[in-house]
Amino acid sequence: MKENIIRIPCPQSGCGRLIIPNTCFSLLPAAVIRRWDIELYYSETPPVRVFDCPYCSAPLSDDDLEEEKDGDGLKHYDCPRCSQSICASCFSFEHGRLSCLRFY
């Protein structure tokens, strides 16, 4: 864990399986097992961004929205409540070809 290695292969030759936290209860402190378990969860689960629609304030998450591309290939989301386009990078008002940094 100190080296940020969370996927630990079985040391038995030819096994190829990964050691999971539940198999190490008797060997490691509970705090280490808990941290290891959390790190494994987040390594396998993509992060979810929760935000409000900049137009209508509807609560949204990037996990629930389908990313779309406009005619110029710019990525955006469409709010399911108000149907307005939201920038898929900065989650703000859609700003066309203007970069997110320049928009702010």
Give pLDDT tens digits for 3-44.
556 677 777 788 888 887 778 878 888 888 888 887 877 777
Residue 12 placed within a domain? yes
* Residue 56 domain-assigned (yes or no): yes
Judge whether 1 lies within some domain.
Answer: no
What mean pLDDT is predicted for residues 87-98?
88
CA separation for the pair 23, 79 (Å, rounded): 44
Residues 61 and 77 in one domain: yes
**Number of domain units in the chain:** 2
Sequence-ordered list of residues with C-beta below 8 angstroms from that of 50, at least 6 positions apart, any chain: 59, 60, 61
The per-residue pLDDT for 82 is 95
Report CA Rg, the chain: 21
pLDDT of res. 14? 85
86 close to 78: Cβ distance less than 8 angstroms: yes
Q: Both 68 and 27 in a single domain?
A: no
**CA-to-CA distance for 38 and 44, rounded, in angstroms?**
10
Domain assignment of residue 21, given as a range: 8-44
Q: 61 with 92, same domain?
A: yes
pLDDT at 35: 84
Residues 69, 92 within the same domain: yes
If asked whether residues 57 and 16 sit together in one domain, one would say no
Residue 26 lies in a domain: yes
Does a structural domain hold residue 30?
Answer: yes
55 in the same domain as 84: yes
pTM: 0.52
